Amino acid sequence: MKFSRRQFLNVSSGAVVASCLGKQSSAVAKDADQQGRKSLDGQLGITTSSLTYQLSPRAKDDQITLLELPRIMRDELGMTVIDLNTSTLATTDPKYLDQVRAAADKAGCILTNLKMNQPRLDMNSPDAAIRNKALDTYKASIDVASHLGLKWARPLPRVPKPDMKIHVASYRELCEYGAERNVQLLVENYGWMQSDPGSVVKLVQAIGENVAACPDTGNWDSDEIRYAGLKQTFPIAVTCDFKARNLGPRGEHPLYDLKRCFEIGWNAGFRGPWCFEHANRDRKELFKELLLLRDMLQAWMQSAAKQSS
């Protein structure tokens, strides 16, 4: 069965809220989730991997802590969305997580996603002990995401293509665990998925419930696969890693067409959040380039909205 974007969002996210609210009707749950999702339309932000060279778990000279980031997002970058990575959390102690949440709330920022990027985990292993260790680690991170009030969490795909029977079963276990904590699991095109434009859609369909797509515009093996993959994936996307590599002074991006990536998403009905993933060792240059990306995407959204009105 092929869903429209609206139908997919109603089915996938409505099931999450309904499972968490027990006796509340699914219709009301779907409406509540859609109202929450609507607030992310047009919203721009960053993945914290963009600050690989600037972000430190603890205060250091010339570096930023996660507790400072929401204020910087507001005052220096003029954006609201922060997509987290497990490596950027100084600790998972509840008191610290409460501080992170409070800092975001105070600055008017939105914490949306936790990319679970712990190294060397293998939830696809035929060895039950290895597989269960990965699942237990991911579940602990889903608990963190739930404590922070995040909508989503994403396990890290591996480079080798997995045994799909094991992979789907493990994903379903995480999705069920997340549903009980109001956290939806995401699928991102990385590793083994980058060579197949249909990989994200096929995996989401196989998993079935409490799962959606997070397309990364940069993680494809070729331009042909990139644009075909984005065209297939954006209709079931709830967030996007809008990745940019080396930028020219006016936003030139020779590696692939950023505007075309945006247009594919927009034409599929995706409206946000758009989370920039772009790094630079020099903080001044990084912020300059993030502002350039912000202004470009805002202009593209305004133009596209006028054309579709």
The vertex-50 CA angle with 49 and 54, nearest 5°, equals 95
Using DSSP's 3-state secondary structure scheme, residue 242 falls into: strand
The vertex-274 CA angle with 298 and 290, nearest 5°, equals 65
- Give the DSSP H or E segment for 184: strand 184-187
Q: Are 26 and 18 in contact (CB under 8 A)?
A: yes
Q: Are 97 and 144 in contact (CB under 8 A)?
A: yes
Work out the average pLDDT over 46-57.
93
Q: Is the pTM of this model over 0.85?
A: yes
Work out the average pLDDT over 143-147.
98
CA distance 226 to 239: 17
Is 70 exceeded by the pLDDT of residue 161?
yes
- The residues spanned by each domain of the chain are 43-308
Q: What is the pLDDT of residues 54-70, one digit of tens each?
A: 998 776 777 899 999 99
Q: What is the pLDDT of residues 26-45, one digit of tens each?
A: 333 334 344 344 589 999 99
CATH of domain 43-308: 3.20.20.150
For residue 241, the cross-strand partners are 216, 275
